[in-house]
Structure 1
Amino acid sequence: MTEFPPLKNDLILRAALGKKTERAPVWFMRQAGRYLPEFRKEREKHDFFTLCRTPKLATLITLQPIDRYDLLDAAIIFSDILVIPQALGLEVEMLSGKGPHFPNPLKVPQDIDTRLRKHVNVYEELKYVFEAITMTRKALNGRVPLIGFIGAPWTLMAYMIEGGGSNNLSKAKTWLFSYPEESKRLLQKITDIGIEFLIGQIKSGAQMVQVFESWGGELSPYDFNIFSLPYITQIAEKVKTQLKQENIEPVPMVIFCKGSWYALESLSNIGYDTISLDWTIDPAYAKAITKGRVTLQGNMDPNVLHGTHEEIRSTVRRMLENFGTGEKYIVNLGHGITPTTDPENVKVFLETVHKVGLELNNNIIN
């Protein structure tokens, strides 16, 4: 294992594992990205996936929000969930203003065998992510922990079939309801790669990892239990088991299933340390369902950051009052930060998290 500088701020790691904290730690999904002018300058010079595939550039971009604000309690490696479909052999483009695009998505189950790689050497195909993580971890010099991530199998499968974003996922769902066994075979293939990919990220220096089931809420509760839950459960179980077998210290694992409010109880029992919440879940409901079994993360609507400073401050205060600030809570948004967000509003958010978090915690102590 690589030697890294000692960690100076372990707040988020303690919170993710349910330990007491001086205040609630904070980070953003998509905190390194399009809302920052310094990122847009790099994007003008390089294709999106060139940024992902070039460790030096990925490190630079990962550090941009950390350098700008100095109020974040974690960095998340600059990458994309769709690097797994790329490793499987599919072409993925990132179109300006439109998002991800697969020029030739999967169309029929036979494509699993004829168009996807039968064996993926994760350490070769995704070597650039591992290198970026190691490089970034060193460059952080212990300032904050580094988060790695993957897309969950159902979300990746949906992208691979839809060819990009979709309003109803009709093509991907056609597979589920017309070819359920073939769909499960594809989900398992993605799961196996995801497990190995996460373990590789941890070995490379990731100190916490998150699984993004961004399209979980597009499934009914019944279908979620068939086509999502078994695979994200495997990821948590197998990553932790293999790390233990190799005598590698485990890291906190976070699950984010956007829109899957109905699955909260199940999600709190499958091996993840933290559940990230979208903005449609009431804090009191989340706490009642999870019963303190896990740390909660989130859940402010990202669009609040388009509001007034007064509204941002009042929303942050309400969120911290509802979730608590000294134990089992990590401040975040209910989804990724949007590209049109004003960086100054992000600063107001972060300053308020620090100020109110300390204030509320001191009130509890006193």
Structure 2
Amino acid sequence: MHTLTVRTPSHNYPIYIGRDLLDSAHKLLKPHLGKKAAVITNETIAPLYLEKIQTALTRAGVPHFSIILPDGEEHKNWQTLNLIFDGLMTHRAERKTTLIALGGGVIGDMVGFAAATYQRGAPFIQIPTTLLSQVDSSVGGKTAINHPLGKNMIGAFYQPQAVLADLATLQSLPPRELAAGMAEVVKYGALGDSTFFEWLEQNMADLMAQQPDKLAQAVYHCCKMKADIVADDETEQGIRAWLNLGHTFGHAIEAEMGYGVWLHGEAVAAGCVLAGRLSEQLGTLAPEDTRRIAALMQAAGLPAEPPCFPFEHWIAHMSHDKKVESGIMRFIGLNRIGQANITEITDTDILHRTLSPYLPV
């Protein structure tokens, strides 16, 4: 097991990374639990891992109850969030009841938001069960739900008490979900570590085959990168925005296609390639670097091109992005692989040239 510490102005908390950690969850989570706990998961994950967490809580001597939600990005909304509040109030959860998010990024984001707002703030723990949530969304305290006009537009910065990433849970992932998580792994190399990017190019086949040591190394490296960035910029006033590489384009794809049609990681993969193409248009990135990003995404079984839809739709979606300031769109671009930048775009012609190969004729 590896342990990292995330240090923020809010508080410090550990990330536990290893295999079969659910079997020792009673020991690892005990210091971070209140006198009562609510395990919140979805109908896909519940049959796989809920009983293990319930057993862990019983062994830790913590009374608990469970809330099971529908599965899927399309359910990341107010209606499902209210199901969490319904369950908490039905079971008379108090302010010190610990909410436990057991699942992928959708569960983690929603439970975190529920914790941030229930009785003005309840503690919560992340137990991510997908690659995407283990390397990215469970760390750093971003919580949110989607709105029909924009992804993750309603939420809060709210840090967990602990993150427990059991790599054994990745064995139950469908190949498409594993690939979707790998998009975020590639993103980390592209935005801030060229050596890691090269390592991914050399080891992607082993990673997709879930070679244990290499997969653990990749998860640890991404969590370490994110922990360091969050420590410097908890509420995304500066460099934390780099973690959104590919996300402005990606969120537009998700909103246009319908949440859940393209998985988040699939949209981010195509979005990272588009970020490379935009950087080429701006003269900051060599075309070869964009080709390397596209090739690595494809090696992970991910799309390197977006779906085809009108330019006006792209602009409508991207103008609702959280990075928009004073009406000006801001994108995360690249100077080279391993070095991101933040670029303001006022000339939509540049965006049109970037997207032109994928627009309807």
TM bin (shorter chain)? under 0.3
TM-score, with length taken from structure 2 = 0.25
Higher relative contact order (CA 8 A, sep 6+): 1
Task: Choose between structure 1 and 2: higher strand proportion.
Answer: 2
